[in-house]
């Protein structure tokens, strides 16, 4: 039976946030995930592809962007949990972990040179990088028992499915179709945090707009 993750009794891990300044802080349960080869692979994928040929300092990786995005999601969820209502709107500790985990893993499916890879190999790559992220996410939990054990202390299969839906959201705006999400309609706001299909304002954009601009020397 999963227990609820508690921010007050859980320790944290910390990373230097590079040129963005400050410290990235995440729950310690993320350590085993971050240490996997699949996640460490993101260290070798340039966030801006070959843009560093024009902007030499823009050599940052999907790894630091993923950590930064996860940290923003974690902060968002902590603040929302303080203001959430009882009942169907209530945000619990496991909701916080699920959204933060989705944010950390949202770019697992990127190939070399990020979006440039998709453009060059578009004829041979028939899946969006979000769908590939879900496949790699599944592989991590299949191949690394320590990661599964760490997160399934707090998750059941429904939460596991929620994380995958947050990484690659199904179309839930179709009024004629069956409800596709594992959460109720009153908690669809969770889907606007990692990948906001309504207006694009999400933690992914917040991190890369600030980080990419700083590393490129472009003021925002």
Residue span of the structural domain in which 129 resides: 36-168+180-215
Residue 207 in any domain: the answer is yes
Confidence of residue 215 (pLDDT cuts 50, 70, 90): confident
CATH number at 60 reads 1.10.3210.10
Which pLDDT score, from 0 to 100, does residue 119 have? 61
Using CA atoms, how far apart are residues 70 and 160, in angstroms rounded to an integer? Answer: 17
Residue 30: inside a domain: no
pLDDT surpasses 80 at 116: no
**If you average pLDDT over every residue of the chain, what do you get?**
88
Q: Is residue 112 part of a domain?
A: yes
- Domain presence at residue 29: no
- Report if residue 157 sits inside a domain: yes
Write down the pLDDT at residue 174: 67
Q: What is the pLDDT of residue 212?
A: 86
Q: Per residue in 34-75, pLDDT tens?
A: 999 999 999 999 887 777 778 878 788 999 999 999 999 999
> 43 in a domain, yes or no?
yes
Any domain includes 56: yes
| Total number of domains in the chain | 1
With a pLDDT cut of 90, the percent of the chain lying above it is: 57
- Within a domain: 173: no
């Amino acid at each position: 039976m999963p227990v609820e993750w508690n921010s007050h009794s859980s320790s944290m891990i910390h990373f230097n946030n590079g040129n963005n300044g400050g410290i990235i802080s995440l729950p310690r349960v993320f350590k085993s995930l971050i240490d996997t080869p699949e996640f460490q692979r993101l260290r070798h994928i340039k966030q801006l592809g070959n843009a560093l040929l024009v902007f030499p300092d823009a050599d940052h990786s999907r790894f630091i962007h993923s950590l930064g995005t996860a940290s923003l999601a974690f902060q968002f969820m902590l603040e929302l949990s303080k203001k959430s209502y009882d009942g169907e709107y209530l945000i619990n500790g496991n909701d916080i972990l699920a959204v933060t985990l989705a944010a950390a893993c949202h770019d697992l499916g990127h190939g070399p040179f990020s979006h440039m890879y998709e453009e060059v190999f578009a004829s041979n790559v028939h899946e969006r990088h979000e769908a590939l992220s879900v496949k790699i996410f599944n592989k991590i939990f299949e191949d690394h028992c320590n990661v599964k054990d760490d997160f399934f202390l707090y998750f059941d299969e429904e939460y596991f499915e929620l994380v995958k839906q947050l990484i690659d959201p199904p179309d839930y705006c179709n009024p004629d179709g069956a409800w596709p999400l594992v959460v109720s309609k009153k908690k669809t706001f969770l889907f606007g945090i990692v990948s906001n299909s309504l207006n694009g304002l999400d933690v992914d954009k917040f991190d890369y707009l600030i980080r990419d601009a700083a590393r490129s020397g472009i003021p925002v």
